[in-house]
Amino acid sequence: MTDHRRIRIAVLGTGRIAGKHLHAIAEYADELELVAVCDTETAAMDREDIPEQTPRYDDLEKMLSEAKPELVAVCTPSGVHPGNTVACAKAGVHVMTEKPMATHWQDGLDMVEACRDAGVRLFVVKQNRLNATLQLLKRAVDAGRFGRIHLVNLNVFWTRPQDYYDAAAWRGTRDMDGGAFMNQASHYIDLLDWMIGPIDRIHAMMDTRERDIETEDTGILNVRWKSGTMGSVNVTMLTHPKNYEGSITILGERGTVRIGGVAVNEIQHWEFEDEHEDDARVRDASYETASVYGFGHVPYYRNVIDAMRGDAEAMTDGGEGLKSLEVLIASYRSAESGDAVALPLPR
């Protein structure tokens, strides 16, 4: 899109995460035009952040035909992202899908292929990458400030009570939702490749210890990167009585950093052998948050708009989205077999 008229956007699925998208669309009202919302549950579209005059649909195909969006933000349950994406692609509509992009490996591959064949863009939302804390850490890793990275640890100690899963039939199911790793810890799994680099192999153990769901509520994941770095990911949705910690710790030969808080929102330790101008930014990078979602959707939309206009490269396209899906699928395969799983997975 080389002109600078407003981009016609629709939101598919108006559940809890849709609020972040509606807020971002409102922030860029001069550049985005909300032409429709769509949800199979009509009551879900009765929310204050959807402008009253916005057309509402309960059928995707009808919305695509009548509202004619140029971009659809897919906020439906994870298991239907692939079908939604393929339908949009066949209609010549660009797609921005929430995480995880799919719950099965082949579905993710099919999404990328469908969008490529149709000549439309596929954006996969990874808004946590834009958190100020993680941006500082990424720059430190890329600048080589850690030297050789010896050990990496990520913790996601949150809680999802049984009534959370009972509130919607798709939650906690293998095909539609995935478990603690696939759903709640998805953005933390994304950090493994994006922050540290290509992975050699994964060995996972998972269990459903407490919740009445098809998938895991607790698990651990050991990782070895191709660089030789080793690490672990510890995840549970059983923390009492509330979300406690979302953290990443990196230990290198010339630096040590821990970013914690409830959702990697606090730089709790920052120490390097050398000095850098970013060190002065550490104090201001931490922020208060009552939500595990962070504040990255608005800047993520900025990149999507710029990419649609041809003014920037997409931060996380379909290929980039496949990287974290690949780690997730390898983790589940390892947990099921009891063996380590090597990457990359066959395509």
How many distinct helices (H) and strands (E) make up the chain?
10, 14
pLDDT at 292: 77
Which residues are CB-neighbours of 50 under 8 A, at least 6 positions away?
A: 14, 22, 34, 37, 56
d(CA 60, CA 37): 9
Residues of the chain with pLDDT under 50: none
Angle 96-129-346 (CA atoms, 0-180°, nearest 5)? 65
Cβ–Cβ under 8 Å, residues 264 and 246: yes
Q: Whole-angstrom Cα distance, residue 10 to residue 87?
A: 14
- Domain covering 128-290+325-342 assigned CATH 2.40.128.280 in the classification: no
Domain(s) labelled CATH 3.30.360.10 in the chain stretch across: 128-290+325-342
**Quick check: helix, strand or coil at residue 147?**
coil
Q: Count other C-beta atoms under 10 Å from residue 329's C-beta.
A: 24
Element housing 234 (H / E): strand 230-236
Q: Domain 7-127+297-317 class? A: alpha beta
Burial of 64 (0-12, 13-18, 19+ CB in 10 A): buried
Predicted pLDDT at 2: 57
Residue 138 gets the label, from left (phi > 0), alpha (psi -120 to 50) or beta, of alpha
CA dihedral 58, 61, 65, 66 (to 10 degrees): 0
State pTM to two decimals. 0.95
Which residues belong to CATH 3.40.50.720 in the chain? 7-127+297-317
pLDDT for 293 equals 73
| Alpha helices (H) in the chain, listed in sequence order | 18-27, 60-67, 81-90, 105-118, 132-142, 162-166, 186-191, 282-285, 297-309, 318-337
